[in-house]
Structure formats: C-alpha cells, structure tokens
Amino acid sequence: ETGVTQTPRHLVMGMTNKKSLKCEQHLGHNAMYWYKQSAKKPLELMFVYSLEERVENNSVPSRFSPECPNSSHLFLHLHTLQPEDSALYLCASSQDLPGPYGYTFGSGTRLTVV
Amino acid sequence: AQSVTQLGSHVSVSEGALVLLRCNYSSSVPPYLFWYVQYPNQGLQLLLKYTTGATLVKGINGFEAEFKKSETSFHLTKPSAHMSDAAEYFCAVSLGNAGGTSYGKLTFGQGTILTVHP
C-alpha cells in the first residue's frame, strides 16, 4: 500500500479511556507530523518528528503523547481527554527538508470524546 | 519566517461560474506556494504548487493559480465551477531554496470553504 494510512478512521472514546491513533507511510519519507483540525479553527500543528526525533511540540497538553518508533510509523497516544479534544486528527509525512515537494496527508481519524 | 492569509473564509458560487479563491503570503526568502483541497472527512490533497519557473501553474480538476511576486499573491482560479468542487481549500507557503533548516516546511492559511450552488 502506498501513501499515508491512518487508523482508525473513526473513534469514539470516553474521557477516562486510553486509546492510540496510528499513522503509517510507505513513501520513504523521514519526517512525520500530527495536526489537529477542529470545526471553525485553523489547522493546528501538534508535533513534528524528523529522523525519528521529536523536533517540535507546540504547547500540546500532556494528555496527548506522540511516539515515533521508526520513520514509517507514528502514533498518538490519548488518555483522559476532554470533549474539546473532539476533532479530525491528520497525519502527514515529508522528506526531512521537504523542499518543493510539500507534505502528503492521510485521510485522518475523526475523534469524538464523550 | 513566513505567513499566509486567505481572504474570505467562505466563498459561494453558482455552478458554471468563475471560482476565485484569494491567498496572500509573506516570506523572507523566495517562497514555494501550494494549494491543497480537502473534501469532507478526508485529508488534504495537493491541488497545485509553484516552486520556480512559469508563474502560471495548472493543477488537477481544471484549477490554476498565478504567482505574482509584486502583489505577494497566489490566487486560485477555475473558469467554470462544478458541484464536485465544493470543498475546503488551503493555501500554504514554505521557504524556498534559501530557507536553511526550514527549507520547505509548510505554513498553512486558515482555509476557504467553497460552496457551489446548482
């Protein structure tokens, strides 16, 4: 399979649950990103991993915990979330220095916190 | 550093009418410019991009955009809207070849929702 694949596509979780979002890319990229997209808000960059090291963390609450075990996989571990965390979570990948190529996005995980 | 502003969070057109989505940018070095499209509950898909060379670039689905350095703009157009064009469109800018360690890192605009009426 090519491109960027995110699983699950939809997730409903209670505020006391622990769940994980998964992102996988088969493009040979070595940088990966988590974005949060809420209704009526701009795209929010949450985390950036480059060569499997976290290089950016934009003041994201500790209830979101990223993990990048290798350059092809990225996880977002979720625990004790709040209803306002309900959103579309997008994963993207690129070369470490993307240059003129931009990012490739997955289809997202629609998260609902109840 | 770079930033991008999309003028108009919502644009509504009739089917067959011209589509014009506006994007202005600022960049400390010559930029790379991108338009992405997002259909409901989907990720962002690259529509077109400007990196170097010809300032009028053509993308998928009949869209095109023109890089105007003097106006720091990269507006997206399509001569005749189709119902299937209804989506959210994002303009993005990145630092070009002189951007050092930020070479190509994208900054996105706020998005413009395009509605197409029959």
CA distance B78 to B100: 34
CB B114 within 8 A of CB B87: yes
Question: Distance, in angstroms, between A15 CA and closest chain B CA?
Answer: 23
Contact state of B94 with A42 under an 8 Å Cβ cutoff: no
Alpha-carbon torsion, ordered B84, B90, A64, A24, to 10 deg: 60
The reply to whether omega before A8 is within 30° of 0 (cis) is yes
Contact state of B34 with A102 under an 8 Å Cβ cutoff: yes
Alpha-carbon torsion, ordered A59, A60, A65, A69, to 10 deg: -60
CB A53 within 8 A of CB A69: no
Looking at per-residue confidence, does A89 or A98 come out higher?
A: A89
CB B10 within 8 A of CB B112: yes
Token duo for residue B67 = 């890089």
pLDDT tens per residue across span A26-85: 999 989 999 999 987 889 999 999 877 777 777 899 999 999 999 899 999 999 999 999
Q: Which residues of A touch B46 (CB under 8 A)?
A: 102, 104
CB B4 within 8 A of CB B92: yes
pLDDT tens per residue across span A90-107: 999 998 777 788 899 999
Contact state of B109 with A42 under an 8 Å Cβ cutoff: yes
Token duo for residue B101 = 């360690």
Question: What is residue A59's DSSP assignment?
Answer: S
pLDDT tens per residue across span B10-55: 999 999 999 999 999 998 788 899 999 999 889 999 999 999 889 9
Q: Does residue B104 belong to the interface with chain A, where contact is any CB pair within 8 Å?
A: yes
Contacts (Cβ under 8 Å, ≥6 apart) of B27: B1, B2, B93, B95, B96
Tell me, what's the pLDDT at B2? 82
Q: Give the residue from chain A lying closest to B34, CA to CA.
A: A102
CA atoms within 13 A on the CB side of A53: 3
CA distance A4 to A106: 5
Query: How big is chain A, counted in residues?
Result: 114
Contacts (Cβ under 8 Å, ≥6 apart) of B70: none
CA distance A97 to B37: 23
